[in-house]
Amino acid sequence: MNARVVFLDRASLPVRFHRPRCATEYVEHVETASGEVAQRLAGATVAITNKVPVRAEALARLPDLKLIAVAATGYDCVDVGYCRAHGIAVSNIRNYAVHSVPEHVFALVLALRRNLVGYRRLVASGAWQAARQFCVFDGEIRDLHGSVLGIVGRGSIGQAVAAIGAAFGMEVLFSTGPTQPEPDARHRPLRELLQRADVLTLHCPLTAETRGLIGEAELRLMKPSALLINTARGGLVDEPALARALREGWIGGAGFDVLGVEPPREGNVLLEIDQPNFLLTPHVAWASVEAMEGLADQLTVNIDAWAEGRPRNLVT
**Domain locations in the chain?**
3-94+290-307, 100-280
Can you list the residues of the chain whose pLDDT is less than 50?
none
Q: How far apart are CA 199 and CA 187, in angstroms?
A: 15
Q: How far apart are CA 105 and CA 33, in angstroms?
A: 31
Q: How far apart are CA 151 and CA 194, in angstroms?
A: 10
Q: How far apart are CA 286 and CA 102, in angstroms?
A: 9
Residue 38's pLDDT is 98
Residues annotated catalytic, as ranges: 233, 262, 283
Q: Is 150 helix (H, G, I), strand (E, B) or coil?
A: strand
Residue 190's pLDDT is 95
Q: Return the CATH number of 100-280, one of 3.40.50.720, 3.10.129.10, 3.40.50.1000, 1.10.260.40.
A: 3.40.50.720
Q: Give the residue among 302, 254, 309, 251 at the shortest CA–CA distance from 281.
A: 254
pLDDT in tens, 184-218: 889 999 999 999 999 999 999 888 899 999 999 99
Residue 184's pLDDT is 81
Residue 2's pLDDT is 84
Residue 316's pLDDT is 81
Residue 291's pLDDT is 96
pLDDT in tens, 21-67: 999 999 999 999 999 999 999 999 999 999 999 999 999 999 999 99
Q: Return the CATH number of 3-94+290-307, one of 3.40.50.720, 3.20.20.70, 1.10.150.80, 3.40.50.300.
A: 3.40.50.720
- Same fold flag, 3-94+290-307 and 100-280: yes
Residues 270/261, Cβ–Cβ less than 8 Å:
no
